[in-house]
Amino acid sequence: MNKDLANKYLSQLRRSLADVSTPEKAKAMARFFNHEVNFIGAKAADIKKVITEFQQQNSKVSADETLELAEQILANAKYTEEVLLAFGLLNKFVKRHFNDELLQRFEYWLEHYVSNWSHVDDLCIKTIYQFMLSRPELIETTQHWAHSSNPWCRRASNVVWVKFIKRKIGQSVYILDKSLIFRHCELLLNDPDPFVQKSVGWLLKVASIEYEQEVIAFIKSNVNNMQRGTIRYAIEKLDSDTRKAILSF
């Protein structure tokens, strides 16, 4: 894509994002974050609308050109919503376009462009999820993210798996290795970052739907090494009596 055309598209996207943003929405969104985040004031539905309209109006923009635009947005983003916009632009393409190496770009984005939990969750639950649906053999290859020096990448190492504990993909059912789930959680039990801890609890919570007794046993055997907040997240899907029993340990 030539520079002039790229600048035209980028200007259109930024203008559209500004048009759907308000200071009131920015203030309301800030309540969900306990650290400073720079908002322009666009909600998820607003961002989705901007993307849909852009892609309808510019239907000839290819997958590779969209990736180029996304990376330019990420490299120059001032607002958290711009990062979400960049991720969202790719959602319609990632399942059937690109090669496996795109996963390495996602890892780079996590370590260089992500700056809050909403970025991690949006990228993992929407974009990478769609990407993995057509490449389930790559799901377990993200294990090394847990060793990243960047806490957002470590959080992503859990979040990227939450929709793949057991997932119907095409005519078959993908089941994430159960022992891998618990080894991964154990690895991060002492992580100092609170958002990593919440992601450990999240992964255990969704695992409890399929492996309730194993999750209970894991918590019991690691209760002295687990933060209370992590435990509370992990037991949300369990019945009331079981939750009370675990919290009494």
26-84: pLDDT as tens digits: 999 999 998 889 999 999 999 999 999 999 999 999 999 999 999 999 999 999 999 99
Residue 143 reports pLDDT greater than 90: yes
Note the pLDDT of residue 248: 87
Note the pLDDT of residue 189: 95
Contact call for residues 225 and 190 (beta carbons, < 8 A): yes
CATH number for the domain formed by residue range(s) 3-176: 1.25.10.90
Nearest residue to 221 via CA among 249, 197, 199, 244:
249
The 10 Å Cβ neighbour count of residue 186 is: 15
Q: What tokens does 220 get?
A: 């019991």
pLDDT tens per residue, range 161-217: 999 999 999 999 999 999 999 999 999 999 999 999 999 999 999 999 999 999 999
Nearest residue to 47 via CA among 96, 5, 6, 80:
80
Nearest residue to 17 via CA among 47, 37, 39:
47
Note the pLDDT of residue 35: 83
DSSP assigned state of 125: I
Nearest residue to 124 via CA among 75, 195, 189, 66:
195
Note the pLDDT of residue 174: 97
What are the two backbone dihedrals, phi and then psi, of residue 167, each rounded to the nearest 5 degrees? -145, 125
Domains of the chain, by residue range, sit at: 3-176
Q: Whose structure tokens read 């990593």?
A: 196
Contact call for residues 13 and 69 (beta carbons, < 8 A): yes
The 10 Å Cβ neighbour count of residue 200 is: 27
What are the two backbone dihedrals, phi and then psi, of residue 104, each rounded to the nearest 5 degrees? -70, -35
Q: Whose structure tokens read 């409890």?
A: 208
pLDDT tens per residue, range 4-24: 899 999 999 999 999 999 999
What are the two backbone dihedrals, phi and then psi, of residue 168, each rounded to the nearest 5 degrees? -75, 125
Note the pLDDT of residue 98: 95
Residue 102 reports pLDDT greater than 90: yes
